[in-house]
Amino acid sequence: MIVVLAGGVGAAKFISGLVREIDSEDLCLIINTGDDITLFGLEISPDLDIIMYTLAGIVNPITGWGVNDDSTNCLEMLRRYKEETWFLLGDKDIATHLIRTKMLREGYTLTEITHHLCNTLGIKARLYPMTDQKVPTQIRTSDGVIHFEEYMIKNRAEDPVHEIIYKDIESSNPPKGLLSIIEKAEGFIICPSNPLVSIGPILSVPKIKKTIKSTKKPIIGISPLIGNAPVKGPLDRLMKGLELEVSSRGVATLYRDFVNTFIIDEQDKSQKEQIERLGMEVLVTNTLMKTLEIKKALASLALKALWG
Ligand code: GDP
Ligand code: FO1
């Protein structure tokens, strides 16, 4: 089993190539739940849903999140009621949140619900939330502490970031059964996801951190930055806020204690030797996943590095 650490959109692109290079049943995907949010009483897990919709072949190909060909009737009615509608919820997407909310109320865990949703959508890879507990990622700005989705979507990532808080992470536990999968894994892949708000939270669940940081199995990471900039999203602003260097080398520095091989883009090949000096092998390729062929080639390179 190969264990993959994943956020949302960046991870989903990579995973859609990966499942064409390896049997999905050999993949265990650990997904960030720090972005999870409750809105209108609905329990929403954006990263779990992005990966699930992508693997089911129903993701919106333009946004990379939400369901393809969805309508917005519910949202329009909410607007009429003068409710806040900054988080765009499609009608079909709401069905997922209704089931998740209902099953959580009935006492099922987020893991059990995720497995149920994946089974019904015909997904063969094993998807695990990083924890069944609520561990929202929060951003401290000069105006106070807000949920990450509020910072990113409602406030368009415009506020200067002073701190990223993984709330309640220290007392969180991985879901039942996940640690034994991690312990038996052949190796690990860290998707080209946001290291601060997607991979960071996963690696802060104490037992996940301890097991992955002490493994002897190969760990392959892929940089989410190309030419010192994110392909999409607020990673540059978050890194600047924490006074980190916005570059693949900056990301590699965050991963230096545990990553064995780091894959960077051709545009950043001048950083290869500096990153090697951090103590990891560096592979250079095209990481801008515009086509299925590029996604497959990147996944194939990561697998080759993992298998040696
Ligand atoms: P999110 O939770 O939806 O923000 O998704 P992730 O955390 O999985 O990914 C966000 C990161 O993916 C951003 O920092 C992007 O730079 C990165 N990303 C998106 N598309 C690509 C791509 O094609 N190539 C690479 N290397 N990174 C990408
Ligand atoms: N991203 C946006 O930029 N705007 C949205 O309104 C939005 C709604 C949304 C609804 C359901 C869902 O599963 C994802 C959604 N996303 C939206 C994406 C999501 O907020 C982010 O990509 C991740 O949470 C960032 O890690």
The residue whose CB lies within 8 Å of the most ligand 2 atoms, and thus the one to mutate among 45, 58, 149, 191, is: 149
Q: How many angstroms does the Cα of residue 173 sit away from the middle of ligand 2?
A: 25
Q: What number of CA atoms fall less than 13 Å from residue 223's CA on the CB side?
A: 35
pLDDT tens per residue, the chain (308 residues)? 999 999 999 999 999 999 999 999 999 999 999 999 999 999 999 999 999 999 999 999 999 999 999 999 999 999 999 999 999 999 999 999 999 999 999 999 999 999 999 999 999 999 999 999 999 999 999 999 999 999 999 999 999 999 999 999 999 999 999 999 999 999 999 999 999 999 999 999 999 999 999 999 999 999 999 999 999 999 999 999 999 999 999 999 999 999 999 999 999 999 999 999 999 999 999 999 999 999 999 999 999 999 98
Backbone torsions φ then ψ of 301, nearest 5 degrees? -65, -40
The residue whose CB lies within 8 Å of the most ligand 1 atoms, and thus the one to mutate among 198, 246, 286, is: 198
Residue 232 Cβ < 6 Å to ligand 1:
yes
Q: Residue whose CA is closest, atom 8 of ligand 2?
A: 88
CA distance readout (Å), 47 to 155, 200, 250? 20, 14, 24
Is 2-136+168-307 in CATH node 3.40.50.10680?
yes
At residue 164, the pLDDT reads 98
In contact, 217 and 189? CB cutoff 8 Å: no
Tokens 């960046």: give the residue.
10
Write out the two tokens for 58: 């129903």
The residue whose CB lies within 8 Å of the most ligand 2 atoms, and thus the one to mutate among 60, 62, 88, is: 88
At residue 308, the pLDDT reads 86
Residue 248 Cβ < 6 Å to ligand 1:
no
* Strand duo 137-141 + 144-147: pairing: antiparallel
Residue 66 Cβ < 6 Å to ligand 2:
yes
Identify which of 148, 306, 166, 131 has the alpha carbon closest to the alpha carbon of residue 222. Answer: 306
Exposure of 244 by Cβ count < 10 A (0-12 exposed, 13-18 middle, 19+ buried)?
Answer: middle
Q: For residue 66, is it left (φ>0), alpha (ψ between -120 and 50) or beta?
A: left
Question: Can you give the residue ranges of every domain in the chain?
Answer: 2-136+168-307, 137-166
